[in-house]
Amino acid sequence: MLKCSELVERSDALLAGELSWRQRMSFRMHLFMCRHCRRYVKQLERLLRAIPGMHGKANEAEVEQVMRRIREDDQEQHRH
């Protein structure tokens, strides 16, 4: 089973289509059970689409930006 940190580390490779079938399966298993990573991958995907020419590679600052946005979303939900 993948850990959240492993999934985050490999998510750019996943979105770039660089993972094997087996790796994609373990990704999917994890995403099925972990809503935090589901949100992370969704946000990262959106970010990569928004920036043309990135070819699926996110640098640390951009990943940090996504993580921050996810945390802000969580805080938003707690307020309601």
Strands, E assignment, 1-80: none
Contact (Cβ atoms closer than 8 angstroms) between residue 54 and residue 44: no
How many beta carbons lie within 10 A of that of residue 8, not counting itself? 18
* Contact between 19 and Zn ion per CB under 5 A: no
Separation of alpha carbons 38 and 48, rounded Å: 15
* Contact between 4 and Zn ion per CB under 5 A: yes
CB of 52 to Zn ion, least distance (A): 28
State which residue, 43 or 54, has the beta carbon closest to Zn ion: 43
Binding mask 25-44 for Zn ion (x = CB under 5 A): ---------x--x-------
Q: Which stretches of the chain bind Zn ion, using CB under 5 A? A: 4, 34, 37
